Amino acid sequence: MHQIKKMQRLKDSKIAIIGLGYVGLPLAVEFSKKYSTIGFDINKSRVNELNNGADSTLEVDDKALKLALDNGLILSDNLESISPCNVYIVTVPTPIDDNKEPDLQPLKKASKMLGAILEKGDVVIYESTTYPGCTEEFCVPILESSSQLNFNKDFYCGYSPERINPGDKKNTLTKIVKVTSGSNPEVGLFVDSLYKSIIDAGTHLAPSIAVAEASKAIENAQRDVNISFVNELSLIFDRLHLDTREVLDAASTKWNFLNYTPGLVGGHCIGVDPYYLAHKAKMVGYEPQVILSGRRVNDSMGIHVANTLTKLLISKDIPIKKSKVLILGITFKENCPDIRNTKIIDVVNELKEFGVDVDVYDPNANPSEVKKVLGIPLLTEINDLQSYDGIILAVAHKEFTSLNLKSSKNQVIYDLKGIYPKQNIDKRL
């Protein structure tokens, strides 16, 4: 245990952050304030962008990024640059494949890469969302094989699930309690102390890596299930000709009512993490019911929105085929450029199946990224709102809150976010 005891002197920590996206970059900036820190990413253009002082994710403002770079933060796409480090924090994405099964290839590649430079006494901390047991059952054998070192003898692991909320400028990295864990009690204390040194909100040391992994999985699964409940209510109330938000406003007057609202559930976490938990459940012989039923409801909402809009157009005698519809917003949530797993594309594709001419405008999204990932062009500006037969407010960007939208006999306004006065629109989700 001599090697890990050396690591307990936090001042000796040389930290490498693997992955410089929404999670990794804020970590790199914060750790660089107290430790020798190198941020690593295989995407050369991303590294160049950051070294030029700009973050396209908008998670770190340009001033803070430049200050970190001026004060010694190194950002690199060269693996050799991180070989002198002794703490490696992995923040690579953990998506799902077309069959909604965990895609562990990014974790596999990162672990194999780190194994090639791992030395005795090093600590590898995973932040990527996984299923319970993934770190020790999947990642550790790769590290051992690639490094020829022995786990918990020559090197050690920790797990501290990311809790970044993209676009949230209030609940930022240092203001959210951080769950920590280690591959043995001593390592757990080291990992906890490391994060405690930068997290103002404090930390929670979990008793094992598997507990920490499970805690992350259920955080987003819980939100997903709760949202699916109100989405199902919306489907029911739509048939009863009731305004769902009016019903929720009335119900929320009770002190213990959880005031979730209906919507399209996208993003890298909420729409993905439940499948990781379900995957592990099936591995141990349990077929999850609530988790997967919630996913089915939420995954169906894009088609429901498209179908509802077509019904609204028909109600005003507006022909569906060749009608013009504008969708305001393509990101998965408001006031951020993140399009990962956005469900608005489901609305777009379904409307196109009906023969609708669909335009999409989003001042926060990157047009080239949208074209590359989603295969659709973005309008660069909107000039004539009256030229559209239908408008869907899909994302509550601040730029949209002041739009003077008002439905007419020749135009449908469908507000998915409930931000416009009810009398000005045709329907709310």
pLDDT digits 0-9 by tens, 99-157:
989 999 999 999 999 999 999 999 999 999 999 999 999 999 999 999 999 999 999 99
What pLDDT, on a 0 to 100 scale, did the predictor assign at position 208? 97
What pLDDT, on a 0 to 100 scale, did the predictor assign at position 6? 46
pLDDT tier at 1, thresholds 50, 70, 90: very low
User: Could you tell me if residue 355 is left (phi over 0), alpha (psi between -120 and 50 degrees) or otherwise beta?
Assistant: left
- Segment 337-358 shows an average pLDDT of 95
pLDDT tens digits, residue range 13-54? 999 999 999 999 999 999 999 999 999 999 999 999 999 999
pLDDT tens digits, residue range 57-107? 889 999 999 999 999 999 999 999 999 999 999 999 998 888 989 999 999
Q: Which residues are part of the catalytic machinery? A: 269
Query: Phi/psi at 413 (nearest 5 deg)?
Result: -115, 120
Q: Tell me the residue type at 288.
A: P
pLDDT tens digits, residue range 206-260? 999 999 999 999 999 999 999 999 999 999 999 999 999 999 999 999 999 998 9
- Architecture in CATH for domain 300-429: 3-Layer(aba) Sandwich (3.40)
pLDDT at 4 over 70: no
- Segment 353-379 shows an average pLDDT of 95
As a whole-number percent, the residues of the chain with pLDDT over 70 amount to 98
- Distance separating alpha carbons of residues 107 and 112, to the nearest angstrom: 8
What pLDDT, on a 0 to 100 scale, did the predictor assign at position 361? 97
pLDDT tier at 167, thresholds 50, 70, 90: confident
CATH of 2-212, one of 3.10.450.40, 3.50.50.60, 3.40.50.720, 3.40.640.10: 3.40.50.720
pTM of the complete model? 0.91
Domain boundaries, the chain: 2-212, 300-429
pLDDT at 8 over 90: no
What pLDDT, on a 0 to 100 scale, did the predictor assign at position 338? 92
pLDDT tens digits, residue range 263-311? 999 887 888 889 999 999 999 999 999 999 999 999 999 999 999 999 9
pLDDT at 415 over 50: yes
Residues forming a β-bridge with 18: 40, 90
pLDDT tier at 2, thresholds 50, 70, 90: very low
Q: Which position has the higher pLDDT, 327 or 5?
A: 327
